[in-house]
Amino acid sequence: MRTFAHEAGHAMTRMIGYFANQTDRIQCALTSEHDAIDFGAERVDGWGVGSYQFGEVLMRKRPTDPREPVKLLDVVRDLRTGCMLAHVRAATVGARSLDNTHPFRHHQWLFAHAGTLPRFAEARRALRDEIPEHLARGIRGDTDSEVLFYLFLAAVYRTGHLDDPDLDRAGIMAALGEAADVVDRVCGPDGGLNLLVTNGRTLVALRRGAPMSWTRRNGLRDCPVCRKAPEIAGREPRRVDHESLRYVLIAGDALSTASGWHEVPASPRGTFLAVDRALEAQVTAR
């Protein structure tokens, strides 16, 4: 089993978004993309995976000793899902704990963030004041990331669509933009805002800071997971193709130069990458 730790030639990835049209091929997709994503880090303070299965949200989160390796394929081995967020934490704000481990969840929403908000210790109270009290009570940890999530939820709540499973990507992007504006006003405009958010039907990424990469695949040739052993010794394994599999994979804080991967362009106020159930990817500067 490959350990997802730093290796020469690989882009370090702490945050992954996955959106697909089939629920039983996540191992196939992630294994085939191993040259593009290097999930983990030399220092790991926790890992988490959030996914959707039969309409339910599944969470697997664990704070870890920094020396413990992260094996993404072990974590997702038995998942059957078409939508997943995965995150490895290097703690900058908040202790190593379950409540501070990404992704964060509220009802059907999942959220992961890479970066640190400037002046958060002084700005925390002012940021929380922007969140309706009934929502703010859901904040359980100490991180700037979770407060950022709830700023987004507050923006969605004000539209009346917080529990709307069909809120489209335009509505999600608008709410993320509103949350980013609050952060800039309260903390200053220099905060790292690379993040992923999904309700299981739409996945939206925002890049403002570290690099971000993505790919969209139509079909998977010669699946490394499903190759058939030869019936006769000495012959090549029989290849297995998944021609109908389609997926979008996002490396939320890494620049991958692997074939078929693209950089989400940098822009001063941030750039959105939004994916809907049709698996159409839309890149939009704020």
| Domains identified in the chain and CATH numbers | 12-285 (3.60.20.10)
Whether residue 280 is predicted with pLDDT greater than 50 in this model: the reply is yes
Burial class (CB in 10 A: 0-12, 13-18, 19+), 47: buried
At residue 94, the pLDDT reads: 57
Q: What angle do CA 246, 32, 103 make, to 5 degrees?
A: 75
Q: How confident is the model at residue 243 (pLDDT cuts 50, 70, 90)?
A: very high
At residue 89, the pLDDT reads: 76
Taking only the tens place, the pLDDT of each residue in 97-111 is: 788 889 999 999 999
112, HSE (Cβ side, Cα atoms, 13 Å): 32
Taking only the tens place, the pLDDT of each residue in 155-172 is: 999 999 999 988 999 999
Strand pairing partners for 57? 52
Quick one: average pLDDT of 198-222?
A: 95
CA gap 109, 100 in Å, rounded: 16
Whether 68 and 44 have beta carbons less than 8 Å apart is answered as yes
3-state secondary structure of 196: strand
At residue 67, the pLDDT reads: 67
Whether residue 216 is predicted with pLDDT greater than 90 in this model: the reply is yes
183, HSE (Cβ side, Cα atoms, 13 Å): 28
At residue 43, the pLDDT reads: 66
Quick one: average pLDDT of 248-261?
A: 90
